[in-house]
Structure 1
Amino acid sequence: MPIQVACRCGKTITAPDEYAGRKGKCKACGEAVAIPAPARRAEPDFPPPPPKPAADDFSDPLPGAPADETLYSASPSMFRNRPVQFILGAGLIVSPVVMLLVLLAKGTENTAAFGYFILSLVASPLAMLAFLKWWLDCRATRLVITRKRISLKRGILSRRLNEVRVADIRNVRVDQTALQRLFGVGSVGVSSSGQGDVEIEVHGIPTPQRVREILDDLRG
């Protein structure tokens, strides 16, 4: 944009932008005239935009809301929930080794020992498969309690999530047999005000009474 400067003789001089800060001659009187730099327009001072909140699947959209802290997280126990089945399954898995030692001690001509050894060879792989399935089922199940909700997650490849907000919990049920009380495990069932039946139910979970206490404290 051209710069216009008034000379002392009254003549107006028009100079290109690249002459800003230099001197030029007035064509009318020949006097040197300083060409000023063009004045910069003041830009409005707007406040910076507020930072965006971090994305969180379980975050409260209200500003200033407390974080959804995890208060309890556990999977069903194997031995503590079913100690008898655990010991029997482990015994079947190692039974071929035991029966082989018995067979060697009594002699290979012992028909009964040899029959039990063959039977253990069949039972051991089946027990291992059952034990592996049981372990995977326990590892794939997790009960999680936060300050806002209780959720039960199931599955490894395919996932199933059942969730109830703490504010909607109507009833918390804890079941324990005498043996389960001894080992500190039990079953937990949670129902909400929107459903008539139990929405979340998990068996063999550690410290079930602690689950009830946490939910009672959250419901206030």
Structure 2
Amino acid sequence: MSEEEELYVASPAMFRNHPIAYILTLILCLVGVGIIIWVVWYIRSRSTELTVTNLRTRLHRGWLSRSITEVWHSDVRNVQLDQTLLQRMLGTGRIAVSSSGQSGIEIDVNGLPDPDKIKTLIDSHRVAAQDDDDE
């Protein structure tokens, strides 16, 4: 078994994922109301983190309380990538990962930068993990 190394770590982007909402929130900050909205949005974005290693994909959510979901690459059944036109133009998207052990999607996060890279990393290590299992 090889040693685990981090290949990708990211949190959802605020502006690039929802540019119109971000600009409206900044405008509302001028009158004070938007500050609370922006701070809550910022904390939610920064307290969500997707980590892809050579062995697994892990989603960590939460700051005060936390939730961690892991899917080992050898168990990955499906990787979904969804992007709206605006997300494609701004380089963000939604990644969803399901494993052979569950019937639904286990990891689902929207607004991640460079979702094509994430999917490629998971797929390449999924194939490598399955090849290791076959040997």
TM-score, normalised to structure 1's length?
A: 0.57
Gaps of 5+ in 1: 1-64, 95-123
CA separation in 2, counterparts of 1:136 and 1:125?
18
**1:127-148: per-residue Cα shift (whole Å, max 9, x none)?**
1101100000000000001111
Aligned to 1:198: 105
Measured after TM superposition, the shift of residue 219 of structure 1 is: 1.6
**Which residue of 150, 157, 161 maps to 2:68?**
161
User: Which residue is equivalent to 1:52?
Assistant: none
Q: How large is the RMSD of aligned CA atoms in angstroms?
A: 0.8
Displacement over 4 Å in runs of 4+? none
Aligned counterpart in structure 2 of residue 208 of structure 1, from 107, 115, 132 = 115
Q: Is the 8 A contact 2:27 2:34 kept in 1?
A: no
Using the TM superposition, give the Cα deviation of residue 125 of structure 1 relative to its aligned residue in structure 2, in angstroms. 2.7
CA distance in 2 between partners of 1:80 and 1:186 (Å): 10
Matched-pair contact (CA < 8 Å) for 2:94–2:115:
yes
Higher relative contact order (CA 8 A, sep 6+): 2
Instruction: Select the structure that is richer in strand.
Output: 2
- Residue aligning to 1:187: 94
2:130 maps to: none
Q: Which residue of 1 aligns with 2:20?
A: 84
Give 1:5-16 correspondences, 5 Å limit: none
Deviation at 1:91? Answer: 1.1
After TM superposition, give the deviation of residue 209 of structure 1 in Å: 0.8
1:23-56 C-alpha deviation (Å, 9 max, x unpaired) = xxxxxxxxxxxxxxxxxxxxxxxxxxxxxxxxxx
Match in the other structure for 1:137 = 44
Q: Identity over aligned residues, as a percent?
A: 43
User: Where does residue 68 of structure 1 map in the other structure?
Assistant: 4
Asked if 1:177 corresponds to 2:84, the answer is yes
Query: 1:32 aligns to what?
Result: none
The equivalent position to 2:54 in structure 1, one of 147, 151, 165, is 147
Tell me, what secondary structure is at the counterpart of 1:210?
Answer: helix
Length, aligned pairs only = 127
| Counterpart secondary structure, 2:32 | helix
Q: Using the alignment, how far apart are the partners of 1:164 and 1:85 within structure 2?
A: 32
Task: Quote the Cα distance in structure 2 between the aligned partners of 1:158 and 1:90.
Answer: 28
CA distance in 2, matches of 1:204, 1:210: 14
Unmatched 5+ stretches in structure 2? 128-135
**Can you list the C-alpha shifts for 1:149-200, whole angstroms capped at 9, x where unaligned?**
1000011111110111100000000000000000000000000011111000
**Alignment match, 1:107:** none
Q: Which residue of 2 aligns with 1:15?
A: none
Instruction: Look at both structures and tell me which one has the larger radius of gyration over its CA atoms.
Output: 1
The one-letter code of the counterpart of 1:131 is W
The TM-score normalised by the length of structure 2 is 0.91
